[in-house]
Chains A and B, each alone.
Chain A
Amino acid sequence: DTAVSQTPKYLVTQMGNDKSIKCEQNLGHDTMYWYKQDSKKFLKIMFSYNNKELIINETVPNRFSPKSPDKAHLNLHINSLELGDSAVYFCASSPRDPATNEKLFFGSGTQLSVL
């Protein structure tokens, strides 16, 4: 299947732990993103990579570190998890130049619950 796939789908962990979310797209897109959706459904961009290079880094705590080993993968590592990090994290990719952002293809999301 051609898609954006992210794992795990659910992640339940204790405060202070370190966790990673993985994302892969086989659509041949150059641009990948991480978005965070809070409990009020507000979807906010965190990071954007174009061809493995970071192009957008919103005001995100430096406990969050994205890594793109190649243009098909964008992983998110989170250190010292806090209660406020609980949210759904969506990976997405786009076929176009990030300046145009024609269409985002979203992964199925990772529901992170920090206890």
Chain B
Amino acid sequence: QKEVEQNSGPLSVPEGAIASLNCTYSDRVSQSFFWYRQYSGKSPELIMSIYSNGDKEDGRFTAQLNKASQYVSLLIRDSQPSDSATYLCAVNNDYKLSFGAGTTVTVRA
């Protein structure tokens, strides 16, 4: 079983819609969770971090964490063409950050 699993997509959403990305992880003791965005041909950049159960909002992004279900999600509201990228879920455990395979999002105008 992979440590961090995501739906690979691609996820296609119309401009202005909500994009919903899901991630599950296997290690129950994980405490820190992150979402990175990676544009094609570029390096990943951190867009959200979450440590406690519940929702965390930052602009058009909302991260949701449920440790009991070992589940973390990312919502992108009012999706824009500039949000088209691969979104990587990352989980910290045992001194390292483990990444999922990423979900590719395409926002169509």
Contact = CB atoms under 8 A, between A and B. Distances in A.
Q: Do A and B come from one complex?
A: yes
Interface of A: 40-45, 48, 55-56, 58, 90, 98-104, 106-109
B72 to A, nearest CB: 15
A96 to B, nearest CB: 10
18 contacts: A41-B86, A41-B88, A41-B104, A42-B99, A42-B102, A45-B98, A48-B95, A98-B96, A99-B95, A100-B32, A101-B92, A101-B97, A102-B32, A104-B36, A104-B97, A106-B43, A107-B43, A109-B43
Interface of B: 8, 32, 34, 36, 38, 42-46, 49, 86, 88, 92, 95-99, 101-102, 104
A42 B45 contact: no
Contacts of B98: 45
A101 B43 contact: no
A43 B43 contact: no
Contacts of B36: 104
Contacts of B32: 100-102
A48 B96 contact: yes
B89 to A, nearest CB: 11
A104 B44 contact: yes
Nearest to B31: A100
Contact of B96 (A42, A56, A90, A109): A56
Nearest to A111: B41
A3 B101 CA distance: 25
B13 to A, nearest CB: 19
